[in-house]
Structure 1
């Protein structure tokens, strides 16, 4: 499950618009290039999750959360693209007036998504590093409490050829994040997937660092799933399982550590 002043003009004031333009160009280039490029793999899926013990949703100590995720991933001869949109629905929270008096309640809702293209720079044979990529991310969110943001990441990464039986993919990417609502920072993102006998384990680790205003934080989010398509005799892949969500210093807040487990069902189109 993925969530996420000064009056003087700083360097990031100029960099952020440039980053926005760069990501837009990348996205448009991806769409136009994909029409002519060779597609090597593609997958689109929808996932339903429900779990408890989520922090800061929406500022309760241990909230429940239901999520529907629409996800697409594809690889091409020029690189690849990964994108998803989460729709979260959580517990009720108090509505207050200007004096802090509780005047009602409202169900928490949030939309969060990412569009992440990568472009192949170089490939290697018989090497631990299989491919070097330029990578970008457009990250957006809004919620029922009035918060919204648009962030942009740019970086370089590698696809790895790990000598592990059943390993489907593995990658490591270093990003600079141009953040809208907090100072910029750097991120290291690791992704991997392993599958054998209809058992699939995949997920990611995000490590955010080098931000003087907030704490370094690490977000570990694996899923353990079993494909029940063969036993049901259906045409499309259907997985059931669990997702574990560990987030140390969530949102960079010191001491806010999330340990949440959610049940999931994932259907591939």
Structure 2
């Protein structure tokens, strides 16, 4: 499960991220699938593809902070469709989450409970990078211009669009089993808070069918919200060989540590989820 670590979100529970799964996944995930297919066709027609992976992940768990009141934070679910590819010109990372929590209370203006509703949300991110320079030796393997478009909407009526642009590097870390590592500095271009930055670190390591990957987001320079850091790793075991199947099937868990979640001072998250991930 992924969140927007930016401090651009309004400080209301309507802006906070939850998890989901069920039949209403179909429409947003179908839209994402069409986008992935179209993107793959474009990149395949105009560039050399070096790596390509598309997967679907189901997660369940909880202990998330700042959820709408009434939701059981221990029983939240998310379904993620994800695509990553690298090309001779750069690369693309894209995902869409469909989240679901339990019921939450609906209240009138006087604060009286007038009903309940299941919480649903879609959150997605499109993140391309464009190669500026590459190097054969040394710690820095490639320098990139990078961008991020984030979008979301949920059952409370909240929606957002966030835009980021920055510069980053792909790293060549001399660690056995290291699949990739990168560091990127972004600047936001959003109406709510246009002058904050974030640093995103990503990495993946694999050995003996065990894969550890994830990211760290550090958002800072907000005048009104606290600096916040979000550490979100996954630990997975590949069952492909044991099951004798053609594609990767991974099982494992995800951990979310978020200090000052959404820039709220003193709100720290420690959430754990079980996961199953299948690669097409």
TM over 0.5: yes
Matches within 5 A, 1:101-250: 101-250=112-261
RMSD in angstroms over aligned alpha carbons?
1.8
Which position in structure 1 is the counterpart of 2:47?
37
Q: Pick closer, same or farther for the CA change 1:209–1:34 going to 2, 3 Å.
A: farther
SS of the aligned residue for 1:163 comes to coil
Q: Is the 1:54–1:62 Cα contact (8 Å) retained in structure 2?
A: no
TM-superposed CA distance for 1:60, in Å, is 5.8
Which position in structure 2 is the counterpart of 1:86?
97
Q: Pick closer, same or farther for the CA change 1:31–1:208 going to 2, 3 Å.
A: farther
Deviation >3 Å, runs of 4+ = 28-34, 59-62, 180-184
TM-superposed CA distance for 1:2, in Å, is 1.3
Larger mean Cα displacement after TM superposition, 205-214 or 181-190: 181-190
Q: Pick closer, same or farther for the CA change 1:59–1:215 going to 2, 3 Å.
A: farther
Could you report, residue by residue, the CA deviation over 1:225-257 in whole angstroms, capped at 9, with x for unpaired residues? 000011111111000000000111111111111
Which position in structure 1 is the counterpart of 2:31?
none
TM-score by length of 2: 0.84
CA distance in structure 1 between the partners assigned to 2:39 and 2:205 by the alignment: 31
Could you report, residue by residue, the CA deviation over 1:9-36 in whole angstroms, capped at 9, with x for unpaired residues? xxxxxxxxxxxxxxxxxxx999755521
For 1:76, which of 84, 87, 98 is the aligned residue? 87
CA distance in structure 2 between the partners assigned to 1:219 and 1:180 by the alignment: 23
Structure 1 residue runs without a partner (length 5+): 5-27
Q: Is the 2:219–2:228 Cα contact (8 Å) retained in structure 1?
A: yes
CA distance in structure 1 between the partners assigned to 2:80 and 2:248 by the alignment: 16
The structure whose residues are more often strand, as a share, is: 1
TM-score by length of 1: 0.88
Which position in structure 1 is the counterpart of 2:63?
53
Structure 2 residue runs without a partner (length 5+): 5-37
The structure whose RCO (Cα within 8 Å, separation 6+) is larger is 2
Count of residues in Structure 1 that have an aligned counterpart in Structure 2: 246
